[in-house]
Amino acid sequence: ASGAYAGAKAAREKFALSLAQEVGERGIRVNVLSPGVTRTEGLVAPPAMVDLLVGQTPLGRLGESADVA
């Protein structure tokens, strides 16, 4: 599952790069947001897993919706 996730993430970033090169001449910007692990209703994980994820996060905590907004 992590390989598929990583591949999809890389594809999204390359797509954004290609799109930016295509439309940049017209003054259109393309951005990619990769917020990492974010606390949402969809995050269903045991506390030990959450601790592991937080330990791998440079921020040192789970992201919050406000961080992304």
State pLDDT tens for residues 19-49: 999 999 999 999 998 888 898 888 888 999 9
Would you state the pLDDT for residue 69?
A: 82
- CA 25 vs CA 14, 16, 66, 67: distances in Å: 18, 15, 32, 30
Per-residue pLDDT, 1: 66
Backbone angles phi, psi at 57, to 5 degrees: -105, 125
**CA–CA gap between residue 57 and residue 25 (Å, rounded):** 36
pLDDT attached to residue 16 = 95
- Which residue numbers are catalytic? 5
**Torsion sign, CA atoms 62, 38, 35, 48:** positive
